[in-house]
Amino acid sequence: MATLKEKLTEIIPGLRNDVKSLIKEHGNKQISEVSVAQAYGGMRGVKGLVSDTSLVDPEKGLIIRDIPVSELTEKLPEEIFYLLSTAELPDADTLKSLQNDLAERSEVPSYVFDVLRAMPKDSHPMAMLDTGILVLERESVFRKRYDEGMKRDEYWVPALEDSLQLLAKLPAVAAGVYRIRFDKGDLIDSDPNLDWGGNYARMLGIEDPSGEFANLIKLYLVLHCDHESGNVSAHTCHVVGSALSDLYYAVSAGLNGLAGPLHGLANQECLKFVLAVNEKYGGVPTTEQLKEFTWDTLNSGKVIPGYGHAVLRKTDPRFIAFNDFGKRVCPDDDVFKTVDIMYEVVPPILIEHGKAKNPYPNVDAGSGALLYHFGLTEFQYYTVFFGVSRALGMCAHNIYNRSLGIPITRPKSVGTKWLKKTVGAA
Ligand code: HAX
């Protein structure tokens, strides 16, 4: 058995040599070109980032360290963090040691909750989560060590410590956001006998006699953990971290990006859409009614939340994992059934509509319906689950970047005049 730190100590020298010789021997070779449309169009398809933790295949979806996410749905989120960080799944002893590492660091300083309680009552839960992470910045070991003058090849060590500290505390901070923002009463203590995701579920305070709510939260935390490095939240976290702003700054910044409706907020938007359908038709709609609602939405210039993707071109396997969970646990729930009918009705309409490059559901299309089923009806909170999970990938990327000494991000900008001149436009 090796701790995560021991494992990283073993693998980082090889990784450094590998990347160093790749750059030395092949550093000048081209891997991508950029068109004018890409420069204006969010850099879609430009290969200019490295992600060894995970990749997104347009057809197969998320692949974590060469393993498709559909093969990882029975794992615990902390196992996934180990996999993201080291390219291996932990054995039972190693998992226990990681869980101990997290448990030892899990106490949240009371000032975090004081700040959350002081926020206006109508603050968005994502603003509260990101603020909670930002105030924790005073705990950063990276910043302290940097101020003391640590050497560059040691950066990954406090980056790992900050990651463990932040991940350990995040479930309690996020559960605190829920209980404070929605007046759920006192905060609930963690239980040292529970795993990371199980504790998060417990601290929310949702009744869970069957244990299926905790199972859902663990699945949720696994499925949202990472999505290579070009999505808004991961990329923002990467850019901020590249300035050697510590992990707390970087993760908080990344999660601010996750809070956008075209990114992580889509899960709240999806549930809103489904509830609006149910309200309009007095329950589960017929296929014809859902067609009408979908066309009305598109014709009013809005997107169908939970459908489409910048990279994926098939149904997201993470949607399928949630859908399978729903079929097993709540097949007769009206909200779940509506999500299921949408999967049949929406793709052909988006194809006919002719705009979206991917007419199929993404991860956000069905997750909210399942949370709703368990009585977690405050859908403004849903992106917080996504954020807690995505922090796993952000932390793994941060350790990786600091271990390789990745420099500050600074792509070159060009102006419209330069572009016109360069391409010979009038
Ligand atoms: N409904 C209606 N129109 C859609 C659409 C949808 N679900 N998805 C894409 N389109 C439209 C786009 O708005 C765009 O229209 P314009 O040309 O008029 O601007 C056109 O189709 C081409 O877009 P695209 O290239 O297929 O998609 P993008 O890469 O630009 O955007 C998005 C990808 C995910 C933002 C987009 O599909 C969308 O807005 N989906 C709905 C919101 C959503 O589900 N977001 C969550 C995505 C998953 C995620 O990141 N979660 O965090």
Which ligand 1 atom is at minimum distance from the Cα of 264?
A: 52
- Alpha carbon of 66 to ligand 1 centroid (Å): 27
- Alpha carbon of 324 to ligand 1 centroid (Å): 24
Per-residue confidence band for 140, with pLDDT thresholds at 50, 70 and 90: very high
- Does pLDDT of 173 surpass 90? yes
**Cβ 302 under 6 angstroms from ligand 1:** no
pLDDT digits (tens, 9 = 90+) for 293-313: 999 999 999 999 999 998 899
Which ligand 1 atom is at minimum distance from the Cα of 355?
A: 21
Tell me the C-alpha to C-alpha distance, in Å, between residue 332 and each of 132, 353, 373.
38, 31, 10
Smallest CA separation from ligand 1 atom 29, residue = 310
Smallest CA separation from ligand 1 atom 31, residue = 310
Nearest Cα to Cα of residue 369 among 340, 346, 328? 340
State mean pLDDT over 217-236.
97
pTM over 0.85: yes
| Domains defined for the chain, CATH in brackets | 77-262+378-404 (1.10.580.10), 266-373 (1.10.230.10)
- Read off the amino acid at residue 129: L
- In which element (H, E) is residue 129 found? helix 125-135
- Alpha carbon of 379 to ligand 1 centroid (Å): 21
Share of the chain above pLDDT 90, in %: 96
SS3 131: helix
User: CB within 8 A of 254, min separation 6: which ones?
Assistant: 233, 234, 235, 236, 237, 238, 240, 390, 394
Smallest CA separation from ligand 1 atom 40, residue = 308
* Residue 107 DSSP code: P
User: CB within 8 A of 144, min separation 6: which ones?
Assistant: 158
Per-residue confidence band for 51, with pLDDT thresholds at 50, 70 and 90: very high
Neighbours of 229 (CB within 10 A): 21
State mean pLDDT over 32-51.
96
Whole-number pLDDT of residue 181: 98
CA distance 209 to 343: 30
Share of the chain above pLDDT 70, in %: 100
SS3 358: coil
User: CB within 8 A of 159, min separation 6: which ones?
Assistant: 142, 247, 398, 399, 401, 402, 403
- Positions marked catalytic: 263, 309, 364
Per-residue confidence band for 203, with pLDDT thresholds at 50, 70 and 90: very high
